[in-house]
Amino acid sequence: MLKILKKEGFASFVEITIAAIIFIVAGIGIFTTITMFRPQGNDASNKLKAAYLGQYVLDEMRLAVNADLWNVTDPTLNPLSPGTHNIVIEGQTVVWEVIDNSDLQIRQVKMNVYFNSGL
């Protein structure tokens, strides 16, 4: 065996090579694990932001419920008028559809929040 150091030395070339390979494989594994967590964290953050934006729009709609404006179809005056509406808040698009159920005299709101996953 080829010794890097003299007889007093601590390791041979083969041992150093094997140790280096083990450290490289372990480093690649740790790096892969760390990089896997980051996109999921960003995605979860964006989904949470989208949920808060949707809740904000729903809160604004609750405040807009008014018997005098119930039959007004102008979306600038009544965000609860039947039809499809949208608004952009902080670069995120909130789209909601108000469906008039005249049998029960209620309106149903279906909402989607579109966010840029690259943020």
Query: How do residues 61-90 score in pLDDT, each as one tens digit?
Result: 888 888 887 788 777 778 788 888 888 888
Residue predicted with more confidence, 101 or 30: 30
**pLDDT grade for 119, boundaries at 50, 70 and 90:** very low
In a domain, 2, yes or no: no
Using only C-alpha atoms, the chain has a radius of gyration, in whole angstroms, of 30
> Is 5 a domain residue?
no
85 in a structural domain: yes
CB-based contact 107:82 (threshold 8 Å) = yes
In Å, how far are 12, 99, 110 from 2, measured between CA atoms?
7, 82, 74
Domain range for 89 is: 13-114
* Within-domain flag for 3: no
pLDDT greater than 70 at residue 32: yes
What three-state secondary structure class fits 50? helix
- Domains of the chain: total: 1
In a domain, 8, yes or no: no
Identify the pLDDT of residue 85.
87
What is the spatial distance between Cα 74 and Cα 109, in angstroms, rounded to a whole number? 17
